[in-house]
Chains A and B, each alone.
Chain A
Amino acid sequence: MAYNEDGYQITRHICPRNCYDTCGMLAYVRKGRLEKITGDPAHGYTKGKLCSKGQNYIQRVYSPERIRFPLRQIGRGSGRWERITWEQAMEIICEKILNLKDRYRSTLPFCLNKYSGNFGVLHSAVEGMFNSLGPTTQARGSPCWSAGLDAQLYDMGYNRNSDPGEMEKADIIILWGVNPAWTAIHSLPYIYRAQEKGATVIVIDPVYTQTARKADYFVQTKPGEDGALALALAKIIYESGNGDQDFIDHHTLGWPLFKDYLANLNLDYLSAQCGQELGRIQKLAAIIGSTRAVFIWAGFGLQRHIHGGQTLRAIDALGAITGCIGFPGGGVHYAHQLTWGFNYNFLKDPGNRYLNINSFAQELNLLQEQPVKMLWVSCRNLLAQDAAGKMLRKELDKLELIVTVEQFLTETACYSDIVLPATTQFEEMDVVPSYWHHWIGLNEQAILPYFEAKSDLEIGQLLAKTLNTYQPGSSSFPSEKSPGSFLDEEFNEKLYALLRISHWSELADGPRQAAVAATAWSSKTFATPSGKFEFFSAKAQRESIPPLAQYHKGMSPPGEYPYWLITSHAQQGLNSQFQNITKLAKNKKPVVFIHPQTAAAKGVENGQMVRVYNHLGVITLEAHISADTPPDILVCHQGWLPGSETRLNDLNDGLPTDMGRVSTGSQGVAFYDVFVDFDPV
């Protein structure tokens, strides 16, 4: 915390959203009021710049729509809210906890569903509070990135990536299923500088994104068929003698098997599968095979299909064959866990029962013994974001108490019995790492909590304290410890050494970049059991996953539902966050983008309302006609618009992806394997 000549108190912050960029921010406070927010120039990746969402945080902090007080809803979903005190809220919750404990002689009926609304380390206090009660039921896994994480674990043994600045050293940058122009804007300057130095930028995506507009080549693939393209490229590059034999011979395991597998692949078949002319793939292969400085950024989109993990393994294999992995300016980059080495005291498992977060409703329904009776939601808006939403509402109806900790009246909050007001990152202390760049920084408390808002940590402490007054010994969660003391216990010598600091409080001087090699795997020593890049993974085999990276035909639209429904990230939103900030809302209604030919065939005009449907239900959307989306794909940007009844994932079965268990505890979800038809309203 510092003060400047204008009388501002300046504090450091890190945007804690589930986002590549995880920006450093400075908050300017005068007379106790947050007046402005800027980027933190001391952050070496975000360099003092913020995206439009970050620039508008004041709108979020001081929104008149923020939840101010603890509230109780009389009749779930009725909108009949009454204001209660924190004491009353805690009484209701504690009485329910003790009553359930009494009735079931178990703590398993208490369930937690929490994910990535805030990635701050101290937000794990929610799990900490739950774990202090005894074995509870907890949603586990990730709706986001599981399959890809596992794929890289099998191939390279660890989730590691290069510093994004390495892109500047690349001859070729492949942005594969990722749209940084919308979702990681701070990476664009590196890409532009690389382009200025002569690098070729290739975007591979089913949709002509804003990023694709900036590319030298745009390859419009069929959804879920990126693996076919990767393997076709790998085969052509190797067979044309452009592979890196030295890398293959010295740093890989299972090459003979993979080589045989490649030899037997049919290029005509693969090119048809991914929707490309073979000649075009050959041209691409010639470009990619010309250098080892190929920086492949594999996004989360391409693994949101049933064979998403295999797709990433195929791309990794392509990287290994070109020898780009470990080469400066090269590599296959997905996400890293290098700066996440905290102690995670909060996550010590007392023998919990875990449910797959991606099939939460289905798994709740299966519980015969010790059914879940009370649900605690934090950092999530599951009713807007989960697949099989209708089933979820049915399951929630069986619960006796739903508590949601929130900043806004989300769909999930609307369907809760108790809503507790949560602080923003300007009202609490925390530390936030990133999964893309290697910087880590501190969130200082800039302002007092808005009205009666409390942090997840404080709420956990208050609950523990209240429970123990009702029944001593109910919770071992430390109810008096300060946030700083919790941080003391979360850091360790290894993490301090990585950040080259001796105490986390030094992060108040500026975010720190972890002392890791700028080029991932530059030592060519991998973290796999063999120490090599594993074309053949025994670990995968043990998980009943094919040991060799291989092509599996993806799904395609069945006759009655001839269109893909791709629900990618919005520019002005992050999952279900930010769309309620009026200034950011581009569209007041949920929108579907439809190719002009497709729209014409159905007699749909721009701005007209359409019914989009499949066997699971119907949603109504406003048609925006756009040639950016292919004729057989409808694109909707995922999110939550307050007041809208439209839930995109009501049309989503929630099919599991092939991988994800090792890294996140559950398989991922094939968010993009959804098929629909549509009609004008």
Chain B
Amino acid sequence: MSNRTFDRRTDLAKRYSLYSLFKQYYQGDWELARKAATAIQQYEPVNDNLSSQQDQNLDAAALFEYNRLFVGPGKLLAPPYESAYRNAQGLVMQEETLLVRQFYLQAGIEVSNKNAIPDDHLGLEFEFICYLLSREGERLQADDSSTANRYAALYQEFCQQHILSWVYQHCDDILAHGKTGLCRDTAISLVRFLQREEANFLSKEEFV
């Protein structure tokens, strides 16, 4: 096993862990979201906000803010749905949602609670990425780099077609409306992480 493959697997594991934390942050109940947010700061610390540690103790404030941003009731200040950003009318369960569903299907999976919860919820999109990364890891371990590369390409394609088309804007909304360190720091961490991912994307020619 070459060092390069080993590094790729280590790197993959780290990225998987982060995506998994972001998935938990968006999908989980509050307890899980709070724990995920704290864990994210260990991987992807936001150093320029000294008050963040203190703020994170203000659990109640962060909880209510988290709900105002992502859960409701009422108008979501930073809706975690792709269609809310990309659909002209800002509705959920629109064409944009179906394109995401289509992408999942192409990779051979679908959302278990389909049609009740939109497929393009950020927590589900991150879960999908976790799936792609885990498959990539499995294939690498099995020395099947060609399939592993196929999963890596799918991941990149999904990010470029979906995640990157709206998540930065979503994070801007969090920063515009969020006041607590927990939600703000998590958004900043997510932006930095995605920017790094984006910077590492291969050009089309590199995928062979």
Contacts and interface: CB of A to CB of B under 8 A. Distances in A.
Interface of A: 31-34, 58-59, 62-69, 71, 74, 79-83, 406, 408-409, 413-414, 419, 447-452, 582-583, 642
Nearest to B80: A64
A458 B165 CA distance: 39
B68 A64 contact: no
B112 interface: no
A273 B10 CA distance: 89
A271 B75 CA distance: 52
A89 to B, nearest CB: 13
A642 B74 contact: yes
B9 to A, nearest CB: 37
Interface string B71-115: 111111001010010000111111001100100000000000011
A450 B72 contact: no
A59 B91 contact: yes
19 contacts: A33-B93, A58-B91, A63-B91, A63-B92, A64-B84, A65-B76, A66-B72, A71-B73, A81-B64, A81-B67, A81-B71, A81-B72, A82-B30, A83-B29, A83-B67, A414-B74, A448-B115, A451-B117, A452-B116
B104 to A, nearest CB: 12
B142 interface: no
B193 to A, nearest CB: 25
A83 B74 contact: no
A82 to B, nearest CB: 6
A274 to B, nearest CB: 46
Contacts of B64: 74, 79-82
A82 B31 CA distance: 11
Enumerate the 5 nearest inter-chain pairs by beta-carbon distance, A residue then B residue, closest first. Answer: A32-B115, A409-B74, A409-B73, A80-B64, A62-B91
A33 B111 CA distance: 14
Given A32-B115, A65-B72, A74-B60, 5 more contacts: A69-B71, A81-B67, A83-B29, A414-B74, A452-B116
A71 B115 contact: no
A82 B70 CA distance: 11
B12 interface: no
Contacts of B116: 448-452
B75 A82 contact: no
A378 to B, nearest CB: 16
Contacts of B68: 79, 81
Contacts of A71: 67, 71-73
Q: Which of A32, A64, A582 has the most CB of B within 10 A?
A: A64
A208 to B, nearest CB: 34
Interface of B: 29-30, 60, 63-64, 67-68, 71-76, 79, 81, 84, 89-94, 97-98, 101, 114-117
Contacts of A449: 116
Q: Find the residue from A32, A414, A419, A642 having the highest chain B CB count within 10 A.
A: A32
A248 B179 CA distance: 75
Given A33-B97, A64-B81, A81 B73 contact: yes
Contacts of B79: 64
Contacts of B90: 64, 582
Contacts of B115: 31-33, 447-448
A571 to B, nearest CB: 20
A295 B66 CA distance: 58
B111 to A, nearest CB: 10
Contacts of B30: 82-83
B89 A583 contact: yes
A583 B64 CA distance: 29
A31 B179 CA distance: 39
Contact of B73 (A419, A582, A583): A419
A159 B67 CA distance: 48
A451 B67 CA distance: 15
Contacts of A447: 115
B73 A67 contact: yes
B102 to A, nearest CB: 9
Contacts of B101: 31
Contacts of A64: 75-76, 79, 81, 84, 90-92
A25 B198 CA distance: 47
Contacts of A62: 91-94
A455 to B, nearest CB: 14
A413 B74 CA distance: 10
A639 B16 CA distance: 49
Given A59-B91, A62-B93, A65-B76, A80 B60 contact: yes
A529 B106 CA distance: 72
A411 to B, nearest CB: 11
A83 B29 CA distance: 8
A617 to B, nearest CB: 25
Contacts of B72: 65-69, 71, 81, 409
B24 to A, nearest CB: 15
A408 B72 CA distance: 10
A66 B114 CA distance: 18
A63 B114 CA distance: 17
A583 B91 CA distance: 11
Contacts of A79: 64, 68
